[in-house]
Structure 1
Amino acid sequence: MTISVNAGSLPSDELEDRKDLAPPTATPLGGPMRTRSRRIFTSDDGRIVSGTWECEPGDSAWDFADRGEVIHVLSGRMTCEEKGGAKTEVGPGTTAVFPIGWQGTWTIHETLRKVFVIYT
């Protein structure tokens, strides 16, 4: 089976799951941050989930204690700061890996759309 989606061309109103960013995904550090997403694939054992995700600007704390994530940014930009580590600027065309155990903050400067793969 091959699944093919042009995640960058999906209109925001076609992203199915709409909610405010909240634990256990991440904790907003200011006001509400609206997210929209669409799952594209979930493995039979649930250990791999892939899709596209969009989030409005704001600051949030992330804790990948029990999972990791690989992202590829389609639009928007953010600054990622690992706890006790360096800041990394992420924007369109950037791929970033957040290994299991990563902790830090994401500052989303403009609405961010990414393709993600979450793994446990």
Structure 2
Amino acid sequence: MTTTALTTPELIPADDTARSAMTPSAYVTAETLRAGDPREREAIHLASDDEKFIIGSWEAQPYTEFIESYPGDEYARVLAGSVTLTGDDGVAHTYSAGEAFTLRRGWRGEYRVTETLLKQFALYLA
């Protein structure tokens, strides 16, 4: 790899171009899945050498899962669709296209994709 490649900014697509670079992924596990079939896909745009910091795009079809302990700190911006997050306190928060949200490591609750979701994310795994 050349030095130029390491220092050249790269565009992260935010439209259908984002979907064309995606490959199957598997963040949702059989243990956490409650309903639906997420048929997840992702594109990793940048990852640290130790893979503890990841920036990517992720898409999922409608599904519901219950997460006991979120694995890292995440910032996400919804590009299309919507997701509803309901924590232990029972309060539901729905995020739709154009909105952003954060999740802290250890968050516990229901993660429900209500419309096909396309999001960009930055995730730090401690």
TM-score (structure 1 length as normaliser): 0.84
Find the aligned partners of 2:65 and 2:92 in 1 and give their Cα distance.
14
Find the aligned partners of 1:33 and 1:9 in 2 and give their Cα distance.
18
Does residue 106 of structure 1 match 2:111? Answer: yes
SS of the aligned residue for 2:11 comes to coil
Deviation at 1:23, TM superposition (A): 2.8
Consecutive unaligned residues of structure 1, counting only runs of 5 or more, are: none
Deviation at 1:7, TM superposition (A): 3.1
CA contact (8 A) 1:21 1:34 kept: no
Find the aligned partners of 2:121 and 2:25 in 1 and give their Cα distance.
17
Flag the structure with higher strand content. Answer: 1
Match of 1:14 in 2: 21
Change (3 A) 1:19 1:41: closer
- Aligned sequence identity (%): 24
- Segments of 4+ in structure 1 off by > 2 A? 11-14, 19-24
Please say which structure displays the higher CA radius of gyration: 2
Q: CA RMSD in A?
A: 2.1
Match of 1:32 in 2: 37
Does residue 118 of structure 1 match 2:126? Answer: no
Matched letter for residue 102 of structure 1: W
The equivalent position to 1:53 in structure 2, one of 58, 71, 74, is: 58
Change (3 A) 1:50 1:11: closer
Match of 2:4 in 1: none
Deviation at 1:45, TM superposition (A): 2.7
Q: Deviations over 1:10-32 (max 9, x none)?
A: 2634312x1455339x8210232
Find the aligned partners of 1:117 and 1:28 in 2 and give their Cα distance.
23
Consecutive unaligned residues of structure 2, counting only runs of 5 or more, are: 1-6
Does residue 75 of structure 1 match 2:80? Answer: yes
TM-score (structure 2 length as normaliser): 0.81
